Amino acid sequence: MIKPHGSDALIPLLVTDAAQREQLIAEAETLPSLTLSSAAAANAVMLGGGYFTPLTGFMNAADALSVAQKMHTVDGLFWPVPVLNLADDISDIQGAPRIALRDPNVDGRPVIAIMNVDAIDEFTAAQKDTMTEQVYGTLDPAHPGVAVFQAQGNYCVSGAIEVLNLSYFETEFAGTFQTAVEIRDDIAARGWQKVVAFQTRNPMHLAHEELCRMAMERLDADGIAIHMLLGKLKAGDIPADVRDACIRKMVDTYFPENSVLVSGYGFDMLYAGPREAVLHAVFRQNMGATHLIVGRDHAGVGDYYGAFDAQAIFDEVPEGALQIEIFSADHTAWSRKLNKVVMMREAPDHQPSDYVFLSGTKVRDMLSEGIAPPPEFSRPEVAQILMDHYQSESMAKAS
């Protein structure tokens, strides 16, 4: 199986020994504590599950700035996005060598991890802007990722952590949420060697389904891992439980048995376009995938990134820095001429009118009114789940 990034073996930071975990939970009650931001809590979950291998905790300021500017740590580890624990108030933890980290997303703010504090650095406004611009490509506060990052504090609390639980993901998404360790075990149990990963934060329409099928066939892959983000999204995005239901219905109905692994991971969406695409590749290598589909405007939002910037950035990845390979996909849509889904670059004789196109706004309006999109756009079983969701939302707003 493909090796994890920067390591011969995964480095999950979740404490799995029951006695050790109970001892750490008891210790946590005696320690100064810091309530994390949602972004930092998601980082802790990813560290716990092994997705951030070979990292052992939160980055310090020097590493974060180096990663933002050069895509590697001070010591030379290739990494595309800073992994930070940012705070706006450190009065309760100043001078403490060991602290408890509390989860902002669970009632009662239980301890999610214990940290050995290496340093507490303070970013200047200029340094924060530099990181923002390098990672997100913009300082526009209307960008949802920029808004979240800039709203976090300027104190950078760094150090190794021991993770005690995986937040709300284990309970709210039982059966879908998996650690990188669990996915590697699942891939091994299925006997797969060549595995294509598909990243999604949306329900999958027919074009997405066919893109997965194209990648599997062209790469002669043993299977595809549809890996959905389960953390925080921007307002208006489809909730994770609805996406999960849509994807499972599609897979159960239209894919052969034992050809698709459906799972999810506990991370908040960054909407960082090209940089996040590279981060997605790191996640997928760590979970055992050999290939990642990178399509049009991967991890993008609005008009902040070019359609294929997320593919072009992989040309900047140093040779040998990643083992996972990229399957570069064009925009896919139903061709009226050929009566099937095609990649547009492979249909040079087509005009825009030869494709079935529906804007996101148009689709949402149709679903809200109980009108299923055409079968050339969405499977009817998937459309029904989405119609039920949008109509229940409308009823809730009306009441």
Q: Is the pLDDT of residue 369 over 90?
A: no
Intrachain domains 18-170 and 174-398 with the same fold: no
CATH of domain 18-170: 3.10.400.10
* pLDDT tens digits, 190-200: 999 999 999 99
Whether residue 395 has pLDDT greater than 80: no
Query: Rounded to the nearest 5°, which phi and psi values hold at 171?
Result: -90, -45
**Whole-number pLDDT of residue 351:** 93
pLDDT, residue 234, reads 83
Q: Where are the domains of the chain?
A: 18-170, 174-398
Interstrand relation of 195-200 and 291-294 (parallel, antiparallel or unpaired)? parallel
DSSP letter assigned to residue 317? S
* Residues with catalytic function: 201-202
**pLDDT, position 355:** 94
In this structure, what is the dihedral angle of CA atoms 37, 70, 158, 270, given to the nearest 10 degrees?
Answer: 10
pLDDT for 398: 67
Over residues 52-77, the mean pLDDT reads 98
pLDDT greater than 80 at residue 396? no
Six-digit token pair at 208?
Answer: 């997405």
CB 104 within 8 A of CB 38: yes
User: Average pLDDT over the chain, rounded to whole?
Assistant: 95
For residue range 2-45, list pLDDT tens digits in order: 999 999 999 999 999 999 999 999 999 999 999 999 999 999 99
Q: Phi first, then psi: what are they for 363, rounded to 5°?
A: -65, -45
pLDDT at 399 over 70: no
The answer on pLDDT for 231 being more than 70 is: yes
Q: What is residue 202's DSSP assignment?
A: S
Q: What is the mean pLDDT of residues 296-315?
A: 95
Instruction: Give the angle 346-349-352 at the CA atoms, nearest 5°.
Output: 90
CATH class of the domain comprising 174-398: alpha beta
The answer to whether residue 394 scores a pLDDT higher than 80 is no
pLDDT at site 239:
87
The CB-based long-range contact list for 90-98 (8 Å cut-off, 24+ gap) reads 90/34, 90/120, 90/155, 90/157, 92/32, 92/33, 92/34, 93/32, 93/33, 93/34, 93/117, 93/120, 93/157, 94/120, 96/31, 96/32, 98/31
Q: What is the pLDDT of residues 345-360, one digit of tens each?
A: 999 999 999 999 888 7
Pick the more confident residue, 186 or 367: 186
